[in-house]
Amino acid sequence: MSEAASGSEPETTTGTPLGRGPAIRVLPRLDDANRFFWTSGAEGVLRFLRCERCRRYVHPPAPLCPYCEDGQGHLEPEAVSGRGRLHSFTVNYQQWIPDDGPYVVGLVTIDEQDDVRLMTNIVDCAESELTADMPVEVTFEAQEDVWLPLFRPAGGSRFRPPGGSR
Amino acid sequence: MTDFLERRAVISGIGQSKIGRRLGRSAVDLTVEAGLAAIADAGLTRHDIDGLATYPGGGMGGEAFAGPTSPEVQDAMRLKLNWHDGGGEGPGQIRAVFAACLAVAAGLARHVLVYRTVTESTAQGSGGRQGIGGAVSGGGRVPRFSGSFQWMLPFGAVSAANWLALVATRRMHEFGLRRDQLAWIALNGRANAARNPIAVYRDPMTLDDYLAVRMVTTPLCLYDCDAPCDGSTAVVVSHADYAPDAPNPACHVNAIGTALQGRPSWDQFDDMTTMAARDAAASMWKRADLRPSDVDTAQLYDGFSIITMVWLEELGFCAKGESGAFVEGGRAIALDGPLPLNTSGGQLSAGRLHGFGLLHEACVQLRGQGGERQIPRQPEVAVVANGGGPIAGSMLLTRGAG
């Protein structure tokens, strides 16, 4: 039984509010290799590079498929389901910068291929509900020209995120 | 027996500067102090030193992390060098020592001064520890990041503490590791630090203290994170034929571990319950003519306690996933136990000398110069391990030529 009250905001196990991420989000510098990834959330989907020949997903972006022996497997961005598993997580309590409150750093593997991992924030989930291997689904947070893929418990959450998430 | 080249090298001298919190001295000043101490300890003078190496030197992090560049130190000591090296990429901080071993084996140099200097405590001042990108908070435009950091910093995963906490959580899930087991890395370090007059934290610590202290990033608490300090450690790596002339017992290099087979990444490594330590340790044992059961003391990287747990397993002191039970209660790793661990207090209590403090301590113990903290049964074989996550190097040292 979770100690977080249904419908309220997610909390840590000590009852303090659990934020959606750090106080300031340091953003990626967009370039031709990573732009597809960081802007894909504008369409509400998560994309990874996928080899047109061996069909494996490759992350982070690479110039050519590292799995094709001849190094000639061509990679193209392809949408995935946005569903995955929480491989591991940590609730960060350290105030690395002023105004940082507790937030969850998650390491998510995507359902399509379990060696494709993303570091992310787990949102709309109380600390007491976090367990390794729990199913999660993507939700995006827009920051300037970047759509950050965050993840929340699959199948919806009891928590209503403040300000609305996409 | 194969003649692995690192066996032609010995550590003939060791030295340290003053070590402490916020010394307010420059990195080059501390380095010269440590360097001169190591050179004298080796029975040499500056004129005998013909090689110089450091980790990482310029270009990685700020100077408080990187220490002085090798040209700065060369010039400050007016060294005439036949070989020199500095760099942050390679098998852990100890890579600089590996490079020196190969240089003396190849005849590029005869006596190499190797140093690692940190002034992170002074740089940190009265504020807390910062994450990567943490300096962005002072107002103004936040810089953007390319490369591997772009996958971590947007989500506030700004420190190795966060990245390694993911390893710890996964180990709790797969192996049932508990915090009251992990605690023994910190408790053991603190017990040993009480016998080390220059350790930065020496007050006794109990399991209750550990369990009550604030969290940094679950499941890692403050006492799972090492203590930033100022200080320099230097060693002299000499050709083994100098060993009989060295005034102190030379520490012979039996094997070095340098492999990295998994993806070189904090988050994409193939097995998140382990680290590059797996590959480095395996490659070291392939080159060694000793076994884990021959090791009398282990000086294993403890930038974060969970790293030490992984090294204990990957070096073969216990089975995979069983380090929790192995360290629980502290008997197995105590100063008078079967595998004395981090006998100076390690980085958790003696201070974050970034790998080289552990190397120094291995030599102190092999030489029988540990004073109040000397391992009661004189060790003949020591293992040193540096690095966590995708960074790992290990080294097997012996008291005699073996």
User: What pLDDT score was predicted for residue B2?
Assistant: 64
Please name the residue of chain B whose CA is at the shortest distance from the CA of residue A30.
B146
Of A117, A64, A112, A86, the C-alpha closest to B268 is: A117
Q: Is B222 on the interface with A (CB under 8 A)?
A: no
A24 chain-B contacts, CB cut-off 8 A: 136-137, 142
pLDDT tens, residue by residue, A28-82: 999 999 999 999 999 999 999 999 999 999 999 999 999 999 888 999 999 999 9
Contact state of A87 with B144 under an 8 Å Cβ cutoff: no
Tokens of A62: 């690479």
Tokens of B25: 């001295």
Q: Is B216 on the interface with A (CB under 8 A)?
A: yes
Tokens of B393: 């190097």
Q: Where residue B58 falls among pLDDT bands split at 50, 70, 90? A: confident
Of B5, B244, B235, B35, the C-alpha closest to B108 is: B5
Q: Mutate which of A88, A108, A113, A136 to test chain B, going by most B C-beta atoms within 10 A?
A: A88
Q: Where residue A165 falls among pLDDT bands split at 50, 70, 90? A: very low
Name which of B113-127, B198-212, B324-338 the model is least confident about: B113-127
**Residue A154 class from Cβ within 10 Å (0-12 exposed, 13-18 middle, 19+ buried)?**
middle
Please name the residue of chain A whose CA is at the shortest distance from the CA of residue B268.
A117
The mean pLDDT value for A139-155 works out to 97
Residue B279 DSSP symbol? H
Q: With a CB-CB cutoff of 8 Å, which residues 113-142 of chain A face chain B?
A: 115, 117-121, 127, 131-133
Contact state of B169 with A148 under an 8 Å Cβ cutoff: no
Which pTM value belongs to this model?
0.95
Q: Where residue B131 falls among pLDDT bands split at 50, 70, 90? A: confident
Of B172, B132, B189, B178, the C-alpha closest to B155 is: B132
- A8 has pLDDT over 80: no
ipTM of the prediction greater than 0.85, yes or no:
yes
Pairing of strands B251-257, B393-398: antiparallel
Contact state of B156 with A59 under an 8 Å Cβ cutoff: no
Of B132, B265, B262, the C-alpha closest to A118 is: B265
Please name the residue of chain A whose CA is at the shortest distance from the CA of residue B140.
A24
Q: Is B212 on the interface with A (CB under 8 A)?
A: no
User: What pLDDT score was predicted for residue A164?
Assistant: 46
User: What pLDDT score was predicted for residue B128?
Assistant: 67
Q: Where residue B5 falls among pLDDT bands split at 50, 70, 90? A: very high
Residue A42 DSSP symbol? G
CA-to-CA dists, residue B57 to A46, B27, B60, B354, angstroms:
40, 11, 7, 13
The mean pLDDT value for B295-307 works out to 98
User: What pLDDT score was predicted for residue B132?
Assistant: 73
User: What pLDDT score was predicted for residue B402?
Assistant: 65
- B357 has pLDDT over 70: yes
Please name the residue of chain B whose CA is at the shortest distance from the CA of residue A37.
B151
Q: From CA B353, how far away is CA B360, in angstroms rounded?
A: 10
**Mean pLDDT (chain B, rounded):** 95
Name which of A4-18, B30-44, B232-246 the model is least confident about: A4-18
Residue B315: how many other CB atoms lie within 10 Å: 25
Q: Where residue B134 falls among pLDDT bands split at 50, 70, 90? A: low
Q: Is B271 on the interface with A (CB under 8 A)?
A: no
The mean pLDDT value for B131-136 works out to 62
Q: Where residue B285 falls among pLDDT bands split at 50, 70, 90? A: very high
pLDDT tens, residue by residue, B36-57: 999 999 999 999 999 999 999 9
- Closest CA–CA distance from residue A104 to any residue of chain B (Å): 9
φ, ψ dihedrals at B6, nearest 5°: -65, -20
Contact state of B272 with A87 under an 8 Å Cβ cutoff: yes
Q: Give first-to-last CA distance, chain A, whole Å.
A: 28
Tokens of A36: 């597809």
Contacts A–B by Cβ distance under 8 A: 137
User: What pLDDT score was predicted for residue B142?
Assistant: 82
